[in-house]
Amino acid sequence: MNKWLEKPWVIRVVALLLAVLLFAVVAFDENMYDNDDGFENPFATTNKTEAIEDVPVQIHIEQKEYVVSGVPETVTVTLKGSVSMVTSTEFQRNFDVFVNLEGLEPGTYTVPLEYTGLADRLEVYIDPQEVEVTIEERASKEFDVSMDVINRDKVEEGFEIANVYADPETVTVTSSKSIVDQIAIIKGFVDANGFNETQTIENVPVKVYDNEGNELNVRIDPPTVNVTVEINNPNKTVPITVETVNELPEGMRLSGIELETEEVQVFAAEDYLAELNEITTKPVDLSKITESGTMEVELDVPEQIRKIAADTVTITVNIESIEEETVEDVAINIAEQLDELSVSFQDPATSTMNVTIRGYPSVLEGITAEDLQLSIDVGGGLAPGEHQVPIDLILAEDVAEDVETELEFEQVTVDIESEE
């Protein structure tokens, strides 16, 4: 048996027989359906009822002149008839449903839904059977397109949106005159989250809104635009200033603060950068510093700054403590000596002395014996003989006032003799 089925001519014969049988069944079904002699066939079970959903509705009207509202986009068409006819019609969908508005003036009408392309032998029911429609004159108007940027504040750190524009900048809206008159704005939306360079987004849909923010269903030409988002990276390099608080411990002085980096690059809005002249550090507490050294200090970054090249800076704090030095062999000068008297130091070794100076190293640096003027005054009517006279010290004008001095001895013994 299997060998017979493997022969090509046997397969052709079987296929032919099946085709003839199928034709006979369909013909019998059609004849039964067309039989209108009043004879009821008790074996007639070939009728079928089928609901076809989402059938589009066409509008017959002069589209260039009028706009129609109230017509549903789709309807449900129920068919009843022979199984073969209903099935083939459901499969092919070669029929149309429409409302005929030809010849009607603008206004509101209740009109039936009609169909074409369905066999007369089919029973047809359309849901809904009729609709209320409004016919209005068609109007077109050109509008500017505005763009709304979502997540504008979420562009990459240090960047900002400089400009946003659409191409084309205008669109033409077509609808009924009453709808066109309600239009308040044409808007598109782009999401700038993470942007760090200028970008063009293609085919951005535009939407139409009225004054209350309701979206209007209209025809837009073109329905999409290309949107360019320009991204700027405004920045500025500004000097760093070290901020200090409190005072150093007693006996210490701040001789200077050196910055490892004196400037820093900051990123912010252009108008803010125009007014920005410096970046300060967070305050350095001098009361906690006991010696010179290097430390890392945070910068005090204002919230308007989106990004900064470095948020810390290394500084070197130079601290001075009071020191003591000795200037040796400072000469003692004799002031206002009278011509008829001669003055001599009883001990020649006392004609010079050591002077101790105290102060900060930067102040003491460079002080020499020439800056320390020692003198004694013997012109006050002293008689010839031995006298103890005080020693006066006058500092040079360029010696700082806060330099402390201490003489090796406060007075000296001199001999005054008459030259007569």
Domain spans of the chain, in order of start = 2-34, 47-128, 140-232, 235-321, 323-418
**Virtual CA dihedral for 181, 185, 189, 193, nearest 10 degrees?**
-160
DSSP 3-45: HHHTSHHHHHHHHHHHHHHHHHHHHHHHHHHH--SS---TT--
Given a cut of 70, whether residue 24 has pLDDT beyond it is: no
How many Å apart are CA 147 and CA 227, to the nearest integer?
8
How many Å apart are CA 179 and CA 215, to the nearest integer?
11
Report the pLDDT value the prediction gives residue 277, as an integer from 0 to 100: 93
CA dist 132 → 101, 103, 128, 326 (Å):
12, 16, 11, 116
CATH class (in words) of the domain with range 47-128 = mainly beta
> What is the SS3 assignment for 161?
strand
pLDDT, tens digit, 9 for 90 and up, residues 221-241? 999 999 999 988 889 999 999
Look-up: residue for tokens 């089925």? 5
Report the pLDDT value the prediction gives residue 162, as an integer from 0 to 100: 86
Is 196 or 96 the better-scoring residue by pLDDT? Answer: 96
Report the pLDDT value the prediction gives residue 258, as an integer from 0 to 100: 93
| Secondary structure of 44-107 as H, E, C letters | CCCEEEEEEEEEEEEEECCCCCEEEECCCCEEEEEEEEEHHHHHHHHHHCCCEEEEECCCCCCE
DSSP 397-415: TTS-TT-EEEES-SEEEEE
Is 214 or 344 the better-scoring residue by pLDDT? Answer: 214
Fold classification of 140-232 (topology level): RNA Polymerase Alpha Subunit; Chain A, domain 2 (2.170.120)
Task: Report residue 44's pLDDT band, with 50, 70 and 90 as the boundaries.
Answer: very low
Given a cut of 50, whether residue 37 has pLDDT beyond it is: no
DSSP classification of residue 347: S
pLDDT, tens digit, 9 for 90 and up, residues 103-143? 888 899 999 999 999 988 899 999 999 999 988 888 889 99
Given a cut of 50, whether residue 43 has pLDDT beyond it is: no
Report the pLDDT value the prediction gives residue 401, as an integer from 0 to 100: 78
Task: Report residue 2's pLDDT band, with 50, 70 and 90 as the boundaries.
Answer: low
Cis ω for the linkage preceding 106 (within 30 of 0): no
Task: Report residue 46's pLDDT band, with 50, 70 and 90 as the boundaries.
Answer: confident
Q: How much is the average pLDDT of 349-368?
A: 86
Cβ atoms 230, 263 nearer than 8 A = no
- The percent of residues above 70 in pLDDT, for the chain, comes to 89
How many Å apart are CA 368 and CA 371, to the nearest integer?
5
Given a cut of 90, whether residue 298 has pLDDT beyond it is: yes
Q: Which of 152, 143, 163 is nearest to 209 (CA)?
A: 143
Helices then strands, each counted (H, E), the chain = 6, 31
> What is the SS3 assignment for 349?
helix
CATH class (in words) of the domain with range 323-418 = mainly beta
Report the pLDDT value the prediction gives residue 144, as an integer from 0 to 100: 94
Choose which CATH entry (3.40.640.10, 3.30.300.30, 3.40.50.2020, 2.170.120.40) describes domain 235-321.
Answer: 2.170.120.40
Q: Would 140-232 and 235-321 be classified into the same CATH topology?
A: yes
Given a cut of 50, whether residue 337 has pLDDT beyond it is: yes
